[in-house]
Chains A and B, each alone.
Chain A
Amino acid sequence: MSTPLLIAVLLALTAAAYVLGRRRSVAESGGVGGVRHLHSLPSYYGSYAALWCLIPALLVLAVWTAFQSTIVTELVVKQLPQDVQQLGADRLGLVLNDVRNLAGGNVVSREVTPELRAAADHLRSLERTSAAAMAVAVLSLGIIGGGLAWRQISPRLRARNRVETIVSVLLVTASTIAIFTTIGIVLSVLFESIRFFRSVPLTDFLFGLDWSPQMALRADQVGSSGAFGAVPLFAGTLLISGIAMLVAVPIGLMSAIYLSEYANREFRAVAKPVLEILAGIPTVVYGFFAALTVAPLVRDAGGFFGLDVASESALAAGLVMGIMIIPFVSSLSDDVINAVPQSMRDAAYALGATPSETVRQVILPAALPGIVGSILLAVSRAIGETMIVVMAAGLSAKLTANPLDSVTTVTVQIVTLLVGDQEFDSPKTLAAFALGLVLFVATLGLNVIALHVVRKYREQYE
């Protein structure tokens, strides 16, 4: 039985448990008139039976699907001939891939030996057994759970309280998912990074000036020893983010000031949503825009002034990233500026200040912590931005501060290291996780600082 069908059957069972439970509660109470003798409303008895039918079965289903493929693979490997089992992890993986393809009736990359055929048959039979056993286990668990709950139903059963307890447990579980996600992120990046730092020392990674993540396939190969000094990547990231902030902060801040202090209602009603469109555009679109329109424009403009501009210049990527970030700066600053009480403006005007003096000497100082916070958030956004730089920035790790040159960033390298065919154990792929760890820590740090700045220096009015 396929999993979607199984889930459908389970849901049908649950519905049946609800109906039966409800009916039993009414019957136990002695017909329609006796409902008032029940502790809870009949629907709670139904829900009680339904929840007991659904939840244990769903848990088993989830655990089973999560571990099924790993266990089946283990069993197939055990059955393979000894010499195949002795192969390294990556070559064994290739063999297993062929076994899977053979079992699925797809094209196989090697000669079909009897052993391979046997393994494929074994895999298929195991998968079939596993699917059947899972269906039986899940459905019988559902029936047993629902049945037991159904038998418990009597007018004195405190069904509502029990259902509410179950629901509140579910609510707590749902809200702890955020914690588990964070733990999952930290663990997955941390473990792979530790494996990486076993082969490449931490100091080499953090302070090395040379990045060329090519590992030699053979020992005698020339020129691909692999160097994992990430400083050029950090420098490139900072360069592009810096350019982006140079674009985004003045434009974002000034438009927030203009829209909240100067613009009339009609203009504001049009311009603000239009600027916010920029926040909703997918970054892959910005990447295309950068590569197709802005990069050639920058190169031609540079050529006009006699400058030599790389076709994947940091300037083009940074400009477009800046455009992307404008709405973050402007809408966050807008909120902060609007939070400054009107009485402060009125006081400044009463002293004879012009609007711009009011903005510069009263509003901006009052709103400064919030603005700094929003800029920090925008910086963390810029550092973690991926698609624009993947599509418009270069791949070569150069340590340069020239915005017309091509640089690469942390996110670009993560993508290039992990996209495509790769074995999972080489330092090359593990380096991506180390970079991911740096990225995670950096953005987290920026967020914490931003929150701290906002909390600590916020002026409390009223």
Chain B
Amino acid sequence: MSNGTPSSAGPPRRRVLDAVTGSLSRRYASERRFRLLGRIAVLSGLVFVGSLFLSIILNGYSGFFQTYVKLPVAFEQEALDPEGKRDRAALATADYGALVKKSLQAAFPDVSGRSELRELYGLVSSGAEYQLLDMVEADPSVIGTTRDVWLITSDDFDMLYKGRIDRDVPESDRRVSDRVLGWLDALEKQGAIETRFNWSFFTNGDSREPELAGIGGAVMGSFYTLLVCLVIAFPIGVAAAVYLEEFAPKNRLTDLIEVNINNLAAVPSIVFGLLGLAVLINFFGMPRSAPVVGGLVLALMVLPTIIIAGRASLKSVPPSIREAALGVGASKMQTVFHHVLPLAMPGMMTGMIIGMAHALGETAPLLMIGMVAFVVDVPRGFFDPSTLLPVQIYLWADSPERAFVEKTAAAIIVLLAFLITMNALAVFLRRRFERRW
């Protein structure tokens, strides 16, 4: 339609055109508003992602470091080994805590009085005595000498040195007194404080002392649980997907199975925990807090995910493959297991990895089956009481000590690193093995 010249267009037509052009600015404005809203929505989503990661990383990076203080420790002969026999059992039971206290007193000789002394002893972690024990056990010849030892500090001192405790608030509102600030400054002036990478965070089990707590036990617990989950869920998931996609006749039973799988995928995870509690623990009498039970519950939970992904990848194998195999005389079973399944395997692996990542991050059902116990030992089997990485995060997040905040965030960083690795692996598998037919 041509716009027409003013002379050729009659008055009514002009009015329509006027109405259209007149409304244009309004329509364009609404168009801009709409576009702006969309942009705001996407940006706020991105901002949420950013602030979530930023908040975790800012809180957590210091959790990978630990403050140590250098003190001259006198390994006195009479305190450790009065008989001079270097007997290992006797050495192991000696009072190393007293050595730590003495060296602290020697470093700050002008401290006196019960409460002040207690504060001074509080500089160093209760784990320091085990450091000394380890030194003596490794090399008994240190007895009788005085060595400079880097001792692990307590959580409050660690927080103070890392700047997590504000020095400028009045003393009454602060967790540590002005005296401790003075000691910190004195030690720092001597160069007797340093932070080191906290390797024991990755090997230790849980502890009531934040500076000694680690995720080693939780990681092992997660490993055992996921292993059980994988061993159960993957074969069953693949078998179910193969049956439903390749063999199942269209009847009531298979309809029922399909409806069930879709519904189970949407059941809240905590309900699976109730199932585990009622059936596995109360009915079958399986042990609480054991990776086997956790693995079973998680396997039931991720099964729908694996089945749905498996079916999708079987569906993407073109029928010509099946027809060719059947055409050269393979049985239906041979067709599926020798030709279709290998071609669908990358997709199934992707689904399995995503399911495992989901299981690794799941917490709620595990709370139901008693995996929230305080477990100090690193589990060494499928029946040992253990805790899992996300549950450990939950437990630490509930702890009142300030130092557990950074430990929690550090554990979250480790968990997210695992999850990102798994998802990256899934993406890699998909890119590498995806075939377009």
The interface of chain A, by Cβ under 8 A from chain B, is: 4, 66-67, 69-70, 73, 160, 164, 167-168, 170-179, 181-182, 184-185, 188-189, 191-192, 250-255, 257-259, 261-263, 271, 274-275, 277-278, 280-289, 291-293, 323, 326, 330, 354-357, 359-360, 377, 380-381, 383-387, 390-391, 411, 414-415, 418-419, 424, 432-433, 436, 439-440, 443-444, 447-448, 451
Contacts and interface: CB of A to CB of B under 8 A. Distances in A.
Contacts of B177: none
Nearest to B240: A175
Given A284-B363, A287-B397, A326 B48 contact: yes
Contacts of B367: 386, 390, 415, 418-419
Given A263-B42, A447-B263, A292 B405 contact: yes
A185 to B, nearest CB: 5
Interface stretch (B76-84, B138-146, B409-417): B409-417
Interface stretch (B105-113, B151-159, B185-193, B265-273): B265-273
A387 B307 contact: no
Provide the main secondary structure of the chain B interface: helix
23 contacts: A174-B240, A181-B300, A252-B45, A259-B42, A274-B46, A275-B46, A280-B423, A282-B360, A284-B363, A284-B390, A285-B415, A287-B397, A288-B412, A354-B31, A356-B31, A384-B267, A386-B268, A390-B394, A391-B397, A411-B270, A418-B274, A439-B270, A440-B267
Contact of A171 (B242, B300, B331, B412): B242
A282 to B, nearest CB: 3
Contacts of B284: 66-67, 69-70
A359 B33 CA distance: 13
A178 B52 contact: no
Q: Which range contains the number of B residues in contact with the other chain?
A: 35 or more
Interface in B44-96: 44-46, 48-49, 51-52, 55-56, 59
Provide the main secondary structure of the chain A interface: helix
Contact of A164 (B300, B331, B363, B372): B331
Nearest to B382: A4
Interface string B282-315: 1011100000000000001001100100000000
Given A354-B28, A354-B31, A415-B367, A293 B331 contact: no
B373 to A, nearest CB: 10
A175 B46 contact: no
A238 to B, nearest CB: 15
A255 B37 CA distance: 9
B275 A288 contact: no
A278 B269 contact: no
A255 B39 CA distance: 7
B277 interface: yes
A58 to B, nearest CB: 12
Given A171-B242, A258-B41, A288-B408, A185 B49 contact: no
B35 interface: yes
Interface string B249-274: 00000101100111110111111101
B82 to A, nearest CB: 31
Nearest to A278: B49
B230 interface: no
A178 B268 contact: no
B243 interface: yes
| Among A175, A259, A262, A387, residue most surrounded by chain B Cβ atoms (within 10 Å) | A175
Interface string B19-46: 0000000011011011101111110111
Contacts of B362: 282
Nearest to A355: B31
A300 to B, nearest CB: 15
Given A254-B38, A275-B46, A386-B268, A291 B282 contact: no
Contacts of A259: 42
Contacts, number: 263
Given A188-B274, A259-B42, A280-B357, A179 B257 contact: yes
Given A185-B272, A189-B271, A284-B394, A278 B45 contact: yes
Contact of B363 (A185, A191, A289, A387): A387
B317 interface: no
B42 A164 contact: no
Contacts of B363: 282-284, 386-387
Contacts of A390: 364, 367, 394
B257 A433 contact: no
A360 B256 CA distance: 38
| Among B51, B267, B415, residue most surrounded by chain A Cβ atoms (within 10 Å) | B267
B368 interface: yes
A119 B398 CA distance: 40
Contacts of A174: 235-237, 239-240, 243
B279 A250 contact: no
B423 A440 contact: no
Contact of B268 (A258, A360, A385): A385
Contact of B267 (A262, A354, A444): A444
A253 B408 CA distance: 33
Nearest to B397: A288
